[in-house]
Amino acid sequence: MKKLKVITILGTRPEVIKLAPVVQELKKFPTRIQSKVVLTGQHREMVDQFLKIFSLKPDYDLQIMMPNQTLLDVAERCTARLSKVLVKEKPDMIIVEGDTTTAFIAALCAFYLKIPVAHVEAGLRTYDKLRPFPEEVNRQLISVVADLHFAPTSFARNNLIREGIKKQDIFLTGNTVIDALYSVAGKPYKIADPKLKKIDFKNRKVILVTAHRRESFGNPFENICKAIRQIAEFKDVEIIYPVHLNPNVQDPVRRMLQGRDNIHLLAPVDYATFVFLLKNCYFVLSDSGGVQEETPAFKKPLLVMREVTERQEGIKAGVAKLVGMDSNRIVRAAKQLISSPKAYRSMQKAKNPYGDGKAANRIVQAILKRLEK
C-alpha cells in the first residue's frame, strides 16, 4: 500500500501547541502515513521554544517573519514560499489549525492546487468580521475550502451545519489544546525564573494575565492596563504578566505597569512555565482565544477581556465571564472573585466543555478513513 503524504502547516505559537499532538499521532502510523511539517515562521522567537518542548522538527522553515510586518506582508510571503513547497511535495492532504493568516493562506494555496484540506478547530464564530481581527474572516474562509472539518465542540459543529457544511465532513473531536496541556502538565517542572521563585503561590492570590489582541490596541489596551493597575491594589494580590513582544503591547505595558512590586512583567514564557502558572494561579485575566480553552482544565476562573468571543461554550458553562475592555467592568469582576468565595467556587466547579485529551487520535483516524477509501 502506498503511504499517504500528509503535511501539517504551522505558523504561530498556538498552532504549534494545538497541532503538536496531531503530528505526534500521525507518527504512530509510519507504514501508512508519511508525515511532514512546514513552519511558515509567522511568529519567530515565541515559536522556536515551543517546537523544542514538543520535539517538533519542521521539514521546511519558510522564515517569512520580518520586522514590523503587516498582514499583507505575511500573506504575500506565505503564498509565494508555501506554494512552492506544495507543488514540490504533492501531498495527499494538508492540515491547518484555527484562524491565523498562515492557516488561511495554506488552505487557499492547497485549494488552488486541488489538495484536500483538513481544518483543526473548525467552526468557531463570532459573526463579527472585525472581532477578532483578522481571525474571524480567516476561519470562515478556511471553512469554505476545507474538506474535513474538526469541530472542537458541539457549538462549533452546529455553526458549520448552519453554514451548509455537509454533516459527513464534520467530526466532533474535542480541542487538541487539551491533549497538549495534559502531556506537558504530567511532566516534572522546576521554577527557573528568579521573579517566579519569589512569589508565594500558596498564600497570595496570584492572577495570571495574557493580553495582546490586535483589536485591543490603542485606548482599549490602555483601559486593560489601567484595570490591571487597580486590581494590583487589592490585598494579597500578585499579578504575573508574560508580555507579548509586539510594540503595541510592550509600550503601554511598560509605561503603565512597570515598577510596581506586585506586578511581575515577564518575557514570553515557554509552555511548561505557562502550564505551571495556570495550575498554580488563583484566576486568569485574558483576551486570548486559546487560554479560554486551557484555563478550565485546571478549574481556574477566567475573565475574558474582549467584547465578543467565539468560544461561547466556556461562557455558557460558567467557567469564563466576558468582561470587555472597560476598566471598571474588569475591576468589578476581579474584585468579586477576590472577595467572594461563593462567586469563585461557582466558576471553579463548572465543567470544562473543551475536551478529554483524545482529540488528536480522533482527527488522525478520520483522516485515514477518508484518504484510504
Catalytic residues: 99, 121, 135, 212, 214, 244
**Cα angle for residues 248, 252, 255 (degrees, 5° grid):** 145
**CB of 304 closer than 8 Å to CB of 287:** yes
**CB of 15 closer than 8 Å to CB of 45:** no
Could you give the C-alpha distances from 99 to 25, 119, 293, 370, in angstroms and in order? Answer: 22, 10, 15, 23
**Element holding 205 (H helix, E strand):** strand 205-210
What are the grid coordinates assigned to 154, written together? 458541539
- Alpha helices for the chain (secondary structure H): 13-26, 45-53, 71-89, 101-112, 135-145, 154-162, 176-185, 194-197, 219-231, 247-257, 271-280, 290-294, 312-317, 327-339, 341-348, 359-371
**Element holding 246 (H helix, E strand):** none
**Cα angle for residues 178, 243, 247 (degrees, 5° grid):** 125
The packing angle between helices 219-231 and 247-257, to 10°, is 40
What are the grid coordinates assigned to 166, written together? 455537509
* DSSP-derived pairing of the beta strands 205-210 and 283-286: parallel
Nearest to 182 by CA among 280, 298, 29, 8: 298
DSSP result, 30-94: TTTEEEEEEE--SS-HHHHHHHHHTT---SEE-----TT--HHHHHHHHHHHHHHHHHHH--SEE
Q: Looking at residue 125, what DSSP letter applies? A: -
